[in-house]
Amino acid sequence: MDKLINDLQANLEELKIAGNYRSLAHAVQEGRYLLKQGECMLNLSSNDYLGLAADHALYAEFLHNAPPEHLIPSSSSSRLLTGNHPVFDELEVALARLYGTQSALVFNSGYDANTGILPAFAQRGDLILADKLVHASLIDGMRLSQAHWFRFKHNNLTHLTRLLQSNAANYRRIIIVTESIFSMDGDEAPLRDIVQLKRQYPHVLLYVDEAHAFGVRGPKGLGCAEEAGVLPDIDLLVGTLGKAAASAGAFVACNQTLRNHLVNHMRPFIFTTALPPLVAAWSLYIVRHLPEMQGRRQRLAEITRHVHDALNRQGIQTASRSHIIPLPVGDSTQALQLAEEMQRHGFYLLPVRPPTVPEGTARLRLSLRADLVDEEVEKLIKYLSSKK
């Protein structure tokens, strides 16, 4: 035991030297602001893209109208035992109707979804082709599956085409996996092109993680697939309820047979206590109102365009075309220092460091939100311009 502790401590010291050590800090959110050690800062590291988590009036309205039987703080069991409260069915029906799919299935988190869906479908004799920059949860899902898997060059249709052409005849089933908006770079997958490619192969399934687009993009807030007009071509569309929807959990919209298969074979779904009915009820409330929130989506889009245009005028170039804007630094220690400096100026940003991103690509990730006021946006732009 002593040797183990010593080895672990040595590893932690190495992380500190490299600027990659992580620790938990207390912070209290107040609307779009965050209080930390007595300092009030504009929260630009949150995934509360529509500002719903900061909308206390919205939550008060939900509590006022929610049936008492929905406000239960624990399921106390998995959904396959006694935890399948009727509100889960209501939420899944609402999601399926929005997406125009036969069914939907709700999970405890996006990580549960991505680590469970792929192993449930991808077996020996199957192949997974995933974008190089997909989330760690998808990589873990591939590792847990029994399929062969390969990561194609980021957003590179030529590479993906070549892999499909050379492997199509060798596998029973191929699953293409991508995010719609990539969480670290804020750029977007060419969904229309990927769909056109997928249509050429009847045994190819398309899995799209819309975690950072659900609620934010599309006329009804259903994500980039809705915006691109390719929803019917997505076999497994995963969205999270813990980001723009300001709740917790995740879901997949899919065919009924695929859903039934997951209920019977997806380990993170089978072997875990369900979300509290209270959480599912709040998610249902948001999902039902999501199509009406186009004003918030338009406001976020306006802020996003304005910040991108300002950065471009200053010669600050990024791959992002979304509300997630990386500010590249490179060195982890320097990224820490820049984050601390921005916090001193009233902007709460955190550094993203290895292993979340590759060595030498540490950055700050700016998460824009719809509830920013013009003065705050201008203050942010002025500060970033001064750091060019």
Name the active-site residue from 45, 47, 155, 180: 47
- The pLDDT, as a whole number, for residue 144 is 97
CA within 13 Å, CB half, 148: 12
Catalytic choice (135, 198, 308, 323): 135
7 has catalytic annotation: no
Q: What distance in Å separates the CA atoms of residue 93 and residue 104, rounded to the nearest whole number?
A: 7
Catalytic residue among 179, 210, 233, 235: 179
Q: Taking residues 354-367, what's their average pLDDT?
A: 87
209 is catalytic: yes
87-95 mean pLDDT: 98
- CATH no., domain 60-291: 3.40.640.10
- What residues have CB less than 8 Å from 294, skipping those under 6 apart? 219, 221
Give the pLDDT score at 36. Answer: 85
Please tell me which residue in 209, 226, 371, 376 is annotated as part of the active site: 209
174: pLDDT strictly greater than 70: yes
- Domain range list for the chain: 13-43+293-386, 60-291
Give the per-residue pLDDT at 360. Answer: 87
Q: Which two tokens stand for residue 84?
A: 């399948």
Catalytic residue selected from 155, 183, 247, 332: 183
State the catalytic residue, choosing from 85, 198, 243, 308: 243
| Residue 302 is a catalytic residue | no
Q: Give catalytic status of residue 179 as yes or no.
A: yes
Q: Mean of the pLDDT values across residues 273-297?
A: 97
183 is catalytic: yes
Q: Model's pTM, two decimal places?
A: 0.94
Q: Is the dihedral of CA 228, 231, 236, 240 positive or negative?
A: positive
Instruction: Please determine, for residue 268, whether its predicted confidence score (pLDDT) is greater than 80.
Output: yes
Q: What is the pLDDT of residue 37?
A: 81
- Condensed to tens digits (0 to 9), the pLDDT of residues 17-36 reads 888 888 887 878 888 999 98
Residue 388 above 80 pLDDT? no
Query: What is the assigned CATH class of domain 13-43+293-386?
Result: alpha beta
What is the crossing angle of helices 277-289 and 86-99, to 10°? 30
Catalytic (active site) residue 135 = yes
Phi and psi (nearest 5°) for 293?
A: -95, 30
